[in-house]
Chain A
Amino acid sequence: MAKMNYMYNGSSDYIVSEELRNSVNIAIALQKPLLIKGEPGTGKTMLAQSIADSLGKKLIIWNIKSTTKAQEGLYVYDTVQRLYDSQFGDHDVADIKKYIKLGKLGEALNAEEQVVLLIDEIDKADLEFPNDLLWELDQMSFYIPETKETITAKTRPIVIVTSNAEKELPDAFLRRCIFHYIAFPDPKGMEEIIKVHHPRLEKKLLEQAMETFYMLREVPHLQKRPSTSELIDWLQALVVGGISPDKIKEDLPFLGVLLKKNEDLDTLLSGLYNKSQAPGRTYISGSLNRYRQ
């Protein structure tokens, strides 16, 4: 059993909950991939950066798209280039190695020192994608038939996998992962996160903005509820726009920063106007007390 060589403790620009910190350290110690799920904007991708920063390791990011194949993460054999070179170039094409380009996973395994590998949004890819990576993630090695080479990790990289739950991940893959769900931060946690991004924020403004923000999240039938990153942008907009804290709840300025979909704006407005004769006010103040404990 590996010892706890590295202890992740969060970094200066990323607030980590105790649970998440535990999960990260468990994953590092057990040398298993850490699968992170959570609402958009809860800092899934940021986590890998934070781990890399705090442990002083290089971060390699593999962004997954709907067309990404598992093979691409290992290596790509550029046959077309080789064919071209053989016909026109004065290159020596006998050395196949020159035409083998390592993918992100290959790069991480081939690295001299331990790296942090982020496999971002794994659910974007094809259903079978995670299954195709099982062996490589288990053994941390792969074979290149063209060059008869086996690339094995000198030190197993710290693997962080994020998912937005667009697709179900296969059980076999899940079994090999440590899982953590980043819950949406409560107001107290949120204040800490905001302090990292806006250290000198007026207290009144923050309070008002937070109350409005959590109120908006409670509005039923929103397609995309505003999340942390939107709140941070919104606060920026409020500060730059010089909005008076008293006006925030009444006027809902720069609402477009928080709600990105037209339908959501409509839902909110119709909600506000239907609930009371005096637009907005009753509805908002009614839902406030829930966030004061």
Chain B
Amino acid sequence: MFTNFFYTLKNFGIPVSMNEWDSLLDALEAGMGGASLTGFYHLCRALLVKTEAHYDRFDLAFATFFREIETPEGLPDKIWEWLDKELPELEITEEMRRNHRQLDLDELKRMLEERLAEQDGEHHGGNKWVGTGGTSPFGHSGYHPGGIRIGGESMHLSAVKVAGERRFQEFRTDETLGIRQFQTALRRLRHLTTRLDGAKTDLDLDATVDKTCENAGRLELVWERPRENGIKVLLLMDAGGSMVPYSRLCNQLFTAVNKSSHFKDLKIFYFHNCIYDWLFHNSHCRNDEFTDTEYVLKTYSPDYRVIIVGDASMAPSELTRVGGVIEWGQYNDKPGIDWLRRIRHHFEYSVWLNPISKDFWDWTDGAWSINKISEIFPMEELTIDGLDRSISKLRSKHAVKAV
């Protein structure tokens, strides 16, 4: 009936599954949509959209799909007006606005217009709409929130093939995936220690058995303190211009680390291309908010796990020269590579995560510096697999190479 709507939603990046679609059809059969488009809109959204982050995409998809019912000209305005007409008052506009606190209606309309313009272009080619351009600023197949893939490539495939293709991609672990996968990987980064204070609330089974045996079978319970994670993490992120293409991926890692509440301590600093005398407090790398690298080295104990995220691609001078810092108006007394060595020396557990795929490490512009830095830090690519391997390295001292 309107199965195409299902694919429209998918093309706009909403992870709808058959289960949910079934529920929707059931609900419609039961007459829950009411007779109005507004009722249908609410029903669809409640059943098919599972995060507020996708509300916007849903609205775009909805408007795009149902435009075909009305005359296509002057479209976005029409859609909103049309939705309005379904209600006695102008309520829907208000409600929609509330759903998009971050985007005001004008912004939304503008985006919709842009999107529709694009979609029309592709439509002429005889393909299905593919929500590459708009949904993700960096286009094709790489990284999508929530691990949903709407690859740019799927354009030429039939709908069935696309669906099939997707199902398999979900299982690939060498792909860069969503926050949850990162979180799951990070969860392995724990080192349980027994606290010195706190109530003894856990039953110590071995000790209980021993004590009870000593008492000739008369039960004696032994309690111990619960163990907690003693891992402390220092996250250093490259916020330089060359990292922009990977910003979504890095954001996901950042969010995952930030939401991993199991670390005892988590400190995050930023740097621009290479680490020098300063570590910045936010990603703008502004000159007035920083901590001396020296201070970090002195203050944080060597048991902090250091995760450096950066493309490690820079001009040789940035890495090896005094005064090689790329930032205008800054000057470094020591070459960046010295700082990197000192960090590696101080923090026994450290890894470098590179968002550039490993296959390209020898080929990109920064091949020389990537090579140099991977001599200092164990370097892994920023994928789930790479993160898994780095976490093994962060767990054991054996993996530390002599510098």
Contact = CB atoms under 8 A, between A and B. Distances in A.
Interface in B4-58: 15, 17, 19-20, 23, 26-27, 29-30, 32, 39, 42-43, 46-47, 49-52, 55
B382 to A, nearest CB: 18
B232 to A, nearest CB: 18
Contacts of A26: 27, 32, 42-43, 46-47
A19 B259 contact: no
Interface in A1-25: 1-4, 17-19, 22-23, 25
A94 interface: no
Interface of A: 1-4, 17-19, 22-23, 25-27, 29-30, 32, 35, 37, 66, 80, 83-84, 87, 127, 166-168, 170-171, 174-181, 183-186, 188-189
Contact of B99 (A37, A87, A168, A181): A181
Contact of A175 (B20, B180, B218, B259): B20
A84 B219 contact: yes
B359 to A, nearest CB: 29
A183 B183 contact: no
A223 B180 CA distance: 24
Interface in B81-107: 91, 94-95, 97-99, 101
A22 B203 CA distance: 48
Given A1-B26, A17-B98, A184-B101, 5 more contacts: A1-B29, A19-B42, A22-B42, A30-B47, A178-B47
A10 to B, nearest CB: 16
Given A32-B23, A166-B261, A19 B50 contact: no
Contacts of A17: 95, 98
A170 B94 contact: no
B52 to A, nearest CB: 4
B323 interface: no
Interface size class of B (residues with CB under 8 A): 35 or more
Contact of A185 (B19, B98, B180, B259): B98
A23 B99 CA distance: 14
A171 B166 CA distance: 15
B94 A186 contact: yes
Nearest to B55: A181
B30 A29 contact: yes
Contacts of A180: 46
B163 interface: no
Contacts of B51: 37, 174, 179, 181
A179 B50 contact: yes
A170 B180 contact: yes
B184 interface: yes
Contacts of B211: none
Interface in B167-191: 178-180, 183-184, 187
